[in-house]
Structure 1
């Protein structure tokens, strides 16, 4: 990705997300990813979590008024090139964030719809998903669900008699775009396939499908990394297809250089580029 070295200020990306004490996921992952791709992160904490590399034990949502105050303070001071949304913490937080981003319709909105942790711990209630679908997705430039998240979100607008598990990936993408998303990037990390296939959908159908080597192990914060990398690439001025490719490439290399500091999942190394290549040249 080409970065404009003539501009003394890096692109600014405002992130709404929860804090992760491990630094593997959440707002810490967003900060490192954005820095690794030449952006500066502005951060609004939506929730505090108790978690380790194995899973999430508890979530404490920040008061919605305080979330709004955090965001308004930086938005009134600095120009923002992109919004990135992760774990939002509560229905009230989702509603207030929807109001904030509505005031800046020219700024792209990248949504990582985190439904659960890698272990399966719930991070979004049905009420939160309904509110996300009603208030946030109509404003989303791109949403980055895995296959499981795409089905669960699509079920929010599916007929009562429908089985969301029976819908194809393209069906889910179509439903999400009917909600108002401009683009949908569905990742294949949860699919039982030899390789990971990530597919970007637009109003005309599939825009691009990229195939990546499936790496062994389990990763803490891979979805946060991908969504923040998309936000960074868009903030640098890339068009959506190229931004999505650059983000996937950054994320894959972060995972390929991941480390395992604890007893649970591996943590992506978002500064892989600062280390000399190993014998494989990865």
Structure 2
């Protein structure tokens, strides 16, 4: 089950989650938390869905079919955080992957200070895997003086695994750092691609959720999800005037025949 916003470009949000989850062999149950007006460069408008509608969408599905993992993206409002929290505490055995989307890929705020505080107090303690980029990690752990310190602070907030992605850092390669049990478990290094992408974080988090749903343990799911996401970015395309979009269905394309 993915709880996130709708992006009309199809690059991020619910559609990104559905494509990534399908690529992992999962059936996606999408719960819309917000409607947006955006293109591949800018978020122009952001309307949270009524919290009662968020809860009713989720509970209708949860009472009808088995859910193997939750993926959470844009939450929309403090009230929606409260609604999502009420769902998670009723299903504590289901792993939770939280992508703390605080701004659109091309700019535009998607969460204010109150929403950030609500995420910290209500959702982080329920989270199995948190996938902030370095900017988001610094916003969530504002008192920390390094990314390692940010991760420790996030673990102290109740998160089980923290994967801080390094695409926004000024490094020749992309370094993604994985933390758990109050230490850095691994630094994953990936070739830095020349483009910037709209929906990369959604893709990564949804893929991790899909692999957890398939029964992989978190470390393996996190590693394999990065490989898939990097390939989706490498095969990405720029069809708008802003950022490139990940090609999450690259695996279904026959490059030799152009199909």
Distance 1:77 1:207 in 2: 38
- Which of residues 204, 211, 234 is equivalent to 2:189? 211
DSSP 3-state at the match of 1:40: coil
1:120 Cα deviation from its structure 2 partner: 2.3
1:98 Cα deviation from its structure 2 partner: 0.5
Tell me whether 1:93 sits opposite 2:71 in the alignment. Answer: no
- Which of residues 93, 100, 108 is equivalent to 1:121? 108
Tell me whether 1:78 sits opposite 2:65 in the alignment. Answer: yes
DSSP 3-state at the match of 1:95: helix
Distance 1:252 1:37 in 2: 15
Judge conservation of contact 1:186–1:200 (CA < 8 Å) in 2.
Answer: yes
- Which of residues 99, 109, 113 is equivalent to 2:96? 109
User: 1:249 aligns to what?
Assistant: 227
DSSP 3-state at the match of 2:188: strand
1:35 Cα deviation from its structure 2 partner: 0.5
User: 2:209 aligns to what?
Assistant: 231
What is the aligned residue count?
256
Q: Please, what TM-score do these two structures have when normalized by structure 1?
A: 0.89
DSSP 3-state at the match of 1:41: coil
Distance 1:277 1:205 in 2: 42
Judge conservation of contact 1:208–1:241 (CA < 8 Å) in 2.
Answer: no
Distance 2:252 2:60 in 1: 33
DSSP 3-state at the match of 2:224: helix
Distance 1:259 1:114 in 2: 22
Q: How big is each residue's C-alpha offset from its partner over 1:13-51, in whole Å with a ceiling of 9 and x where there is no partner?
A: x01100000100001100011011111100110000000
User: 2:180 aligns to what?
Assistant: 202
Distance 2:232 2:251 in 1: 9
Judge conservation of contact 1:207–1:241 (CA < 8 Å) in 2.
Answer: no
- Which of residues 135, 155, 159 is equivalent to 1:181? 159
Judge conservation of contact 2:106–2:242 (CA < 8 Å) in 1.
Answer: no
Q: Which runs of 4+ in 1 moved over 4 A?
A: none
DSSP 3-state at the match of 1:197: strand
- Which of residues 235, 242, 246 is equivalent to 1:264? 242
User: 1:276 aligns to what?
Assistant: 254
Tell me whether 1:134 sits opposite 2:121 in the alignment. Answer: yes
Judge conservation of contact 1:221–1:268 (CA < 8 Å) in 2.
Answer: yes
DSSP 3-state at the match of 1:231: helix
DSSP 3-state at the match of 2:66: coil
1:55 Cα deviation from its structure 2 partner: 1.4
Structure 1, unmatched stretches of 5+, are 1-13, 159-163
1:204 Cα deviation from its structure 2 partner: 4.0
Distance 2:185 2:25 in 1: 26
1:277 Cα deviation from its structure 2 partner: 4.8
